[in-house]
Each structure stands twice: as C-alpha cells, then as structure tokens.
Structure 1
C-alpha cells in the first residue's frame, strides 16, 4: 500500500530569507492599511495640511515675505492693510514678519520638547515595566511625586532659576533652548506611565519568554521585541506632546518666565501685546489665532493617528 502524506508534510519549510521577506511584506502592508485609514479621517487630513502650511510659513516665510522682523521703521500701531496684512506693532515692526519669527521659535521649542519627553518617557517607562521590583517602585513614585505638582509650576521654577543664573553670569537671559529642555524634562510623565502599563502586559507574552530563554539581553528584549509593539502609542503621544508644548510655552512666556529677548515666540508676543487688547486688538488676536491653529492641527493629526492605529479596527476592511 502506498503511504499517503499530508499536503502540509509535502510543503517545504520556508527558508530564513523567505520568512524575512514575508515579515517585511506583512509590515509594509500593515503600514499601508494604517496610512489609508489615516487619510480617510477628514479632520486628520485637514490638520496635516494646516500643520504643513504653518511649518512652511514659519521656516520659508522669512525668505519670501518682503519685510524682515528687523525692519522697525514703519509707523507704530498701523491697522491691517494691503501693505501690512496684520498691521504693525508697538516698535513699528511688520506683524507678518514678527509672526513668522515667533511661529518658527514656537515650533522649534515644540519639536525639541516632543522629542525629549518621548525619549525619556519611553526609556524610563520601559525599564520600570520590564524590570519591576525596586526599579519600578523608584520610577513610579518619582512620577507620582511630580504629577502632584502642576507642570507649569515646575517649569516656571526651573526656567526662573535658570534666568536668574544666566543674568548673574552676564549671558543676557534665558533662551528658547533652555525653555525647551526644561519643558521636555517635565513632559515625559504621562507617556512613561502609559508605556509602563503596556510593557507590564507584553513582558508576559510567549515571544518574550522565548527571547529570554534564548539568552537575549534586557536591552535587546525591550528595544527589539517590546517597544515595536508600542509604536502606535509612542507616535500618538509624541504628536500630542507638540500641541501641549506650544500651549505650555505660551503660558510660561505670557507670565514672563519663558522665552526672553532677543529670542521670541508666540507666547512672548502675546505677553508683549496683552495690554493692547482694547486699543489695538489685531496685535493680540493674530498671535492668539496662530497658537490655536497649531494646537488644533496637531490634535487633529493625533486623533487621526489614534484611529488609524486602533487595534480594535484592524479587522475592518481597508
């Protein structure tokens, strides 16, 4: 009698190269699905277009606009006109040129804050969740302690002390880099708690046990096997951190504890023009509108990314 073999037994096992190609194809297809789902989110697409326009305005507008922020020879407090669409400020500077410069500094601060807070939060949250024990206790209690104190208060104290030291040292005051670094150092708390919770769940999975059994190091397990499974949360939180940084910097500068001249930002411009609200309202509301537009656009992008990455919708036909 001829021995019958199953179709499964007859199928050749995939080579390592074929398996790698299969994994790469699956990953690429997954990202394509995420991208399609994101671009079906109308608010997210609107936010993305708006944010790109704001970035272009901030970083290319200075080269295209006819006036520079250093041009201060115009008549003071000119209302909006064809020559000065947003009027002129108290020093006789064109408000469009001033907004270009202020938006650029605010976006630079937001990007540095988002990058720094994401890196610190992901690293500390991962270590706390995976190592557990006294490491988890130490990091978690430190996070709880900082969460009790409002972030604006912590940032104000740090920046104020830095400002006093720099003035005493003759450097002329704080700058946007110092503000960005301090805001980044207090902005990692929420993402660290989220990542810690996800890592606590992932570290008990079978593939992590297998990696441990094969002798993989802690750093390899965390950064090669665990963090790739949290990329959706990392991306969404990093995006929303930009909007939070813009608002926190604006609040800090409005109080006079943020960016100092010769640097500038939208928050500092609001602070300088807060007394002109009734007499020359365009100075306040144009700057305020740019802060709102940046925050709204980034929040729309974050909502779209959250919906696109939502694991509960991965079985939905894209």
Structure 2
C-alpha cells in the first residue's frame, strides 16, 4: 500500500510541472479542441482553407465591388488581358472578370449541393446496407450495381434534359442550376455508398459494437454514434472528391448543352464555349480552367487536413 506522504502520492501535484502536468493538460482537452489543434497544425489544410475562403468571397462578393456587371456586353470582342480588363473580354464582348465571378459562384453552388446531397444519401444507404445485411443489403447493393452499369453522364443528361424541357415549356425562364445540382447529387452517391458499406461490414464485428449491442443500444445509435464516427476520414475524402467531380460533370453536361443555361454561366460552361479558342485566345479557356483547378486543390487540401484531424485512431496531439 502506498503511503499518503510518499513521493508517488505527491507526483500529480500541479506545482511539480513536467510530464505529469503535460499529460493532464492533454487528456483534459475536449474533442473539438483536439480536432482544431490537429487541423491548424496541417499547413496544407490551412493554405487550402484560406484559398477556398478567398474563392468564396470572390464569387459571392466580388460582383459588388467589380466595376463591370456580367451582363454588360458592350466591350470590344477578344480584348487581351489589360489593366481595364485583367482577364480580357470574350467572343460576345463581355468582361471576363465579371463572367468568372459569376461562373465561380454557380460552380461552387452546384458543387456544394452535389457534395452534401450525394454524401448524405451514400453514407446513410451504405451504413444501413452494411449493418443490417440480409435482404436489405442485397436490395441496396443490386440497385447500386444496376445504376453503375449505366454511365452517370447519360443518367444526368436524361434527367436534366427532361426537367429543363418541362421548365421551358412551363414558361419559367429561371435558372436551372439547382436542377442540375440536385440530379448530379442524386446520381453521385453510388461510390461512397459502396465504400461505407464495406467499412461498416468490418466495423459491425468489432468488440465495441458487440458491447453496445449487449448494453441494449438501438440500431440507430450503434450505426450513427459508434460506427460512422470511425469512417469520418473516408466520408470527408469522398465528399471533397465529390466537389471536384461535380464541377467536371457539370462541364460535361454543359458541353452537350444540358448544364447551366444562358444568361447564367459556370466555369464548366465557359470552358465548353471557349474550347476552340485555346490557340487564338488562350485566356478565354485557361482562366476558367485555372479557377477549377484552384477550387479542386483548395478543397482537397482541406479534406486532407480534416481527415487527419478527425481520425479516431489518433489518441494524442503531437507537441
């Protein structure tokens, strides 16, 4: 038995400092503080976050400060980049800075809606299939296999085209970007659902899940409280990939005339409209292309940082 006055009993005293004090501080830190600390120590993630914030501000607030509206087509066509038009003018005489602002705004809106919708659907269906197994797993898995046989571009083209025809026939005349985003989200969950299903199949046999079942936890609590937190890193990585894929798929739809429609624009639509200008007027193609690359890099850097920060296998924050 250890005596009260022994050195061992006095070791945890706050005034001693050293390793005991450091250990107490680390273990007492709340989970959100640990996540924030890990994220802020990821330099690439911080760069990505700053870049993404700048792009968002540029897209949603840039139009308030830029001197030319995106609807102004009164400039000389094909002007090269200059002080008055930093990104030049396009084939219709529009200022490319104003058009890039507008295009980035719609591309970000579409990408975010697609990422959120596809991630939620994929995670829920994948988790349900992996945990319940049986006929539920068979039904969801065969439905995913059926949809994977058909190229996603064809599915999106058919859905978007029918919705666009209906909106035009009804005299709506409004923007169709949300229709494009919703349908891209509805077909973008297949890959993440298969990944989550595989992880849940493995995690459902772990000891902590068996313990939760023994304590009488409900299926909902086991899946969403105990299993899915252990897949956060995979979910985040797939969500960030969904953003880049959404921008590219929207560009493909724009190429065949079923993406964002005029007078609205998007980065993908601008690339499609200027694909033949690369040799004669390269700024018309390269400028929206660079912005797509910047969006993808920024989101991927953020995803890497969040994946490392949320990783439940990391128990301590490195000093």
TM-score tier by shorter-chain length is 0.7 to 0.9
Deviation of the 1:195 alpha carbon: 1.5
Within 2, Cα distance between the matches of 1:133 and 1:179? Answer: 35
Secondary structure at the aligned position of 1:304 is classed as helix
Query: Which residue of 2 is the match for residue 78 of structure 1?
Result: 79
Q: Is the 8 A contact 2:230 2:311 kept in 1?
A: no
Q: Report matched runs for 1:220-235 at 5 Å.
A: 220-235=221-236
Which TM-score applies when normalising by structure 1? 0.83
Query: Which residue of 1 is the match for residue 97 of structure 2?
Result: 96
Within 1, Cα distance between the matches of 2:210 and 2:171? Answer: 57
Within 1, Cα distance between the matches of 2:190 and 2:40? Answer: 30
Structure 2: give runs of 5+ residues left out of the alignment: 5-25
Within 1, Cα distance between the matches of 2:116 and 2:27? Answer: 28
Query: Which residue of 2 is the match for residue 203 of structure 1?
Result: 204
Aligned-residue CA RMSD in angstroms? 2.7
Secondary structure at the aligned position of 1:194 is classed as helix
Q: Is the 8 A contact 1:99 1:266 kept in 2?
A: yes
Deviates more, 1:169-178 or 1:65-74: 169-178
Deviation of the 1:92 alpha carbon: 1.9
Which TM-score applies when normalising by structure 2? 0.83
User: How many positions carry a matched residue from both structures?
Assistant: 298
Within 2, Cα distance between the matches of 1:97 and 1:39? Answer: 34
Within 2, Cα distance between the matches of 1:42 and 1:312? Answer: 21
Q: Is the 8 A contact 2:70 2:102 kept in 1?
A: yes
Deviates more, 1:118-127 or 1:239-248: 239-248
Deviates more, 1:234-243 or 1:160-169: 160-169
Deviation of the 1:310 alpha carbon: 4.7
Query: Which residue of 2 is the match for residue 182 of structure 1?
Result: 183
Deviation of the 1:154 alpha carbon: 2.2
Within 2, Cα distance between the matches of 1:246 and 1:266? Answer: 8
Distance 1:167 1:173, change over 3 A: farther
Deviates more, 1:307-316 or 1:107-116: 307-316
Distance 1:204 1:164, change over 3 A: same
Q: Is the 8 A contact 1:74 1:93 kept in 2?
A: yes
Deviation of the 1:91 alpha carbon: 2.3
Deviation of the 1:190 alpha carbon: 1.6
Deviation of the 1:172 alpha carbon: 4.2
Query: Which residue of 1 is the match for residue 242 of structure 2?
Result: 241
Query: Which residue of 2 is the match for residue 51 of structure 1?
Result: 52
Could you list the per-position Cα deviations for residues 273-292 of structure 1 after superposition, in whole angstroms to 9, with x for gaps in the alignment? 22333332211111111111
Residue 274 of structure 2 corresponds to residue 273 of structure 1: yes
Residue 122 of structure 2 corresponds to residue 144 of structure 1: no
Query: Which residue of 1 is the match for residue 23 of structure 2?
Result: none
Deviation of the 1:301 alpha carbon: 2.2
Query: Which residue of 2 is the match for residue 288 of structure 1?
Result: 289
Within 1, Cα distance between the matches of 2:308 and 2:222? Answer: 28
Q: Is the 8 A contact 1:247 1:295 kept in 2?
A: no
Secondary structure at the aligned position of 1:93 is classed as coil
Within 2, Cα distance between the matches of 1:229 and 1:217? Answer: 18
